[in-house]
Structures are given as structure tokens and as C-alpha cells.
Amino acid sequence: MSVVGKIIGYVPKIFNYGTRLVKASPYIIFHDAAKGGVDAARTVTRAANQSWRSVFKDMLKNGMSGIEKSVAATKAAEGGFLKAAWKSISEIPSILRVSSKWGAARAFAAAKAAGKTAMAARLAGVLGGAKGFFKGIGKKMPLIGNILLVAFELPNIFKATKEQGIIQGGKEVVKAGARLTAASIASAVGTAIAGPIGGIVGFIAGDWLASKVVGKSYSEQKAEKEQQAAEDMARLQELTQQQGMVAQTPVHHNVVTNPFQPLYPYGYNNPSLNPYSNDIMMQSMRFDMMA
């Protein structure tokens, strides 16, 4: 089979995965469906003589099935997307608070057990609390990052809709959704590999990669156009000023100076010694025309 034939053969599969991913995207963005997909994909093990390409396909299948199972479980337990999203969002403050307290208490106890002073133990507790806080962010990173990203994207969507209409606004919604979904999945993968820090790194990487695929937002494109227009105007003004300066510079045509003038200060440049000072025809004659 030719390369083109293979690519065409993949189109239905890509469309199938894409459709299923779009349906599950709200639960990926605002809940933990991405984690369910990653956990399911990790159950795949390589069999003897199995190619890595086949392993990757199995991981995609299991991952998509895991996402859909997580969505179904969430619907059954929470009763719908809005309730599930609100519960997940409302859990953020308590998770951050508990993680911070647990980190501070653990670090303080470890410092006291090591025989450190009270001041050093309190400082260790503060640092431990900060560490626990960031661990809490890592645990809810997809959701926290998505909320922040939505907050940044909403003004862009409103601007695009207001200035270019509902179609452009819909395009921006699709772009934002693709970035949020990719960031959530990448964050879940990063968390599975390297814990909370991996989740943060994965979120940033997923958002960056998705932005390269879907392109820049309407606001970014508009800002670039305005900057380019300002630079073009500045160059035009600079060119106009240069042309104006050239136009104001006096131009002398057919002016030939006497090459012997430095040797003869009392030569014909002195009107009193020039016998042709009153001769109109001689004065109008060029120096280089005189034999």
C-alpha cells in the first residue's frame, strides 16, 4: 500500500478518536477524565516480539476507553457535567489548605526530631507549608491551569465575536478548547511520570504544543497586525523626512571652480583685478570651455 493510501486509511480512525475526544473534553478540562485515561494507558505492557508501534496503538485505545469510563462514572456519581465541574472547582481551596498544613506539620516535626532550634523548626515548617501548597497545585493542576487559561481566553473570545461576528468567536472557542484539552492530558501524563512538578510542566508543554497546531488567537493576530502597521508607518515617516531633507538641499549645476585659485589669491576671483568683471558674456561662460 502506498503512503497516500496509508494516510487515507488513518482518516476514519483519526475522525473517530477526535469525535470521542470532543465529547469527553468538558470532563477532561474541568474534571479528572484525563487521569482516568492515563491510568488506563499505563496498564498496557509490551508483549514478546511486539513492536512499539503496536504498543502505542494499544495505549491510545486503552487511554480513550479510560477517559470514556471516567466520564461515565462521573455522570453516574455527580449527575451531570455542571455538578461535577462545580464540585471539582470547589475542592481546590480545601486541597490547597490541607496540603499546606500537612507539609508544614511534617517539616516542623522532622526539624524538631533532628534537634533543631525552635526558630529553625518554624522556618522549616514555613518552607514545608510552601512545598505542600505547590504539591496541592500539582494535584489540581489541570483544573487550576484550565481555569486561569479560560480567564485569559474569555476576553479574546468576546473581542473576536464583537468585532468579527459569531463565526470568528466560534473559531476562538474551538482553539481554546483544543489547548485546554491538550494541556489537561499532558498534565495528567506529566503527573504520572514525575508527580506534581511533572503535572505543571506537562500542562505548560501541552498548551504550547496545541497553540502551535491551532495557531495564534484573534487578539494576538490583531496585536501583531497593529504592531506591523505602526512599524510600516514609522518607516514611511522616516523615508518622507529623508526625502524632504534631500529636496531642501541646494543643488549647484555646472559650477566649476578655478583650480589655480589657491595659488593666485589675487587672481580673477577678485572683481577689482578681473578685466571681465563687467563682461556679461565672459561671466556666463564656463571655466572649462576656455582654451
SS3 track for 242-261: HHHHHHHCCCCCCCCCCCCC
pLDDT: which is higher, 124 or 85: 124
pLDDT of residue 242: 81
pLDDT of residue 172: 93
Taking each helix axis from N to C end, the angle separating 166-214 and 118-139, rounded to the nearest 10 degrees, works out to 120
Tens of pLDDT, residues 22-52: 899 989 988 888 989 999 999 988 887 888 8
Average pLDDT over residues 229-246: 84
pLDDT higher than 80, residue 247 = no
- Per-residue DSSP letter, 216: -
Give the Cβ contact number of residue 183 at 10 Å. 28
- Average per-residue pLDDT in the chain? 82
**112-116, 207-211, 244-248: which range is least confident on average?**
244-248
How many angstroms separate the CA atoms of 285 and 282, rounded?
Answer: 5
Could you please report the per-residue DSSP string of 162-199?
HHH-HHHHHHHHHHHHHHHHHHHHHHHHHHHHHHHHHH
Give the Cβ contact number of residue 31 at 10 Å. 24
Average pLDDT over residues 160-170: 91
Helix ranges (DSSP H) in the chain: 3-30, 33-41, 52-78, 81-113, 118-139, 141-164, 166-214, 218-248, 280-284
Average pLDDT over residues 214-241: 89
Tens of pLDDT, residues 5-19: 667 777 788 888 889
**Residue 46 near residue 55, CB atoms below 8 Å:** yes
Tens of pLDDT, residues 171-205: 999 999 999 999 999 988 988 888 878 888 898 99
**Residue 32 near residue 66, CB atoms below 8 Å:** no
Max Cα distance, the chain (Å) = 118
How many angstroms separate the CA atoms of 47 and 268, rounded?
Answer: 108
Query: All 3 cell numbers of residue 161?
Result: 465575536
Q: Which amino acid is at 190?
A: G
Q: Sorting pLDDT into bands at 50, 70 and 90, what band is 161? A: very high
Q: Sorting pLDDT into bands at 50, 70 and 90, what band is 267? A: very low
pLDDT higher than 60, residue 279 = no
Tens of pLDDT, residues 56-108: 889 999 999 999 999 999 888 887 778 888 888 888 888 889 999 999 999 99
